[in-house]
């Protein structure tokens, strides 16, 4: 039972770290609480600070696991079409209901990404986003993978206002010390609808390869939420996320604050 609970803890924490990608804001963007990336960049010399919080309850085999992921992302506009993103996630794992093991908390694996928008014509734009994570989290407590990982994603955005559509495809090389699957593929799509100059409604859905080699299905997710922009350099957002595969069901409440200068 203890091994089963620990495996669940590792799966949940690994999946949350995988989904903790940076989502910078711009006129064409899919911002937090979305997982799907966008092609927008800040502009040369601009900064962005994003504080994103995710409260998750996951159930597997009749046992409940609670986690809180708080991600701090700092983005710098290197050029008009290139951003550099640093992410520093903090993970709180609740006590295991299966073994009675106390929870753990601490910094998870940090990340560094570069996003380059290489094509822009009319309403259509495309970008690539390579990234790497560093084993700064304590893998023995379920807070990291224990190894460096790398990823490469492609993104397309289409903006027939007041709608915006995003397509996000890519691969994560999930090096780890848990004998989990290494090659993780991601596919997702999102749509945003401007209700006013300050309010957008968003919907996001996608699927990732399951890190559990024994699983018969892959985790699919759906997110619904809204983004309120009270000023041109500030966003506030709320969202609700559902994730499901053949063994695990989870639901999350999402909230974030984004500042640009």
Are 115 and 48 within 8 A, CB to CB? no
Q: What is the DSSP letter of 27?
A: S
pLDDT at 68: 96
Let me know: does 184 contact 208? Beta carbons within 8 Å: yes
- Please give the backbone phi and psi of residue 209, each rounded to the nearest 5 degrees, phi first: -60, 140
Q: Does 162 sit behind a cis peptide bond, omega within 30 degrees of 0 on the bond before it? A: yes
- Cα distances (Å, whole numbers) of residue 59 to 83, 180, 210, 243: 37, 19, 16, 11
- Domain layout of the chain by residue ranges: 2-260
Cβ-proximal residues to 261 (8 Å cutoff; 6+ apart), any chain: 46, 47, 48, 233
pLDDT tens, per residue, the chain with 261 residues:
444 444 444 554 444 444 443 333 333 334 789 999 999 999 999 999 999 999 999 887 778 889 999 999 999 999 999 999 999 999 999 876 655 666 899 999 999 999 999 999 999 999 999 999 999 999 988 899 999 999 999 999 999 999 999 999 999 999 999 999 999 999 999 999 999 999 999 999 999 999 999 888 999 999 999 999 999 899 999 999 999 988 889 999 999 999 999
- Architecture of the CATH domain 2-260: Beta Barrel (2.40)
Q: What is the pTM of this model?
A: 0.86
Closest CA to 34 of 188, 258, 223, 256: 223
């Amino acid at each position: 039972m203890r091994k089963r609970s620990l495996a669940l803890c590792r799966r949940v924490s690994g999946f949350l770290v995988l989904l903790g990608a940076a989502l910078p804001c711009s006129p064409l963007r899919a911002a937090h609480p979305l997982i799907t990336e966008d092609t927008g960049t800040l502009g040369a010399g601009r900064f962005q600070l994003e504080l994103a919080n995710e409260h998750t309850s996951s159930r597997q085999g009749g046992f409940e696991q609670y986690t809180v992921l708080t991600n701090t992302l700092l983005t710098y506009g290197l050029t008009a079409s290139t951003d550099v993103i640093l992410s520093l996630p903090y993970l709180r794992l609740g006590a295991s209901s299966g073994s009675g093991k106390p929870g753990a908390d601490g910094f998870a694996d940090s990340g560094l990404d570069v996003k380059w928008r290489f094509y822009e014509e009319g309403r259509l734009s495309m970008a690539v986003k390579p990234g790497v994570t560093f084993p700064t989290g304590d893998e023995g407590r379920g807070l990291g993978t224990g190894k460096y990982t790398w990823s490469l994603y492609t993104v397309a955005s289409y903006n027939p206002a007041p709608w915006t559509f995003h397509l996000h495809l890519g691969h994560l090389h999930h090096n780890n010390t848990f004998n989990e699957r290494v090659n993780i593929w991601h596919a997702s799509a999102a749509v945003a609808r401007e209700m006013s100059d300050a309010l957008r409604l968003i919907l996001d859905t996608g699927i990732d390869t399951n890190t559990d080699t024994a699983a018969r299905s892959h985790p699919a997710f759906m997110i619904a939420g809204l983004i309120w922009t009270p000023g041109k350099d500030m966003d506030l957002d709320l969202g609700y996320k559902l994730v499901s595969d053949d063994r695990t069901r989870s639901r999350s409440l999402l909230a974030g604050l984004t500042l640009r200068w």
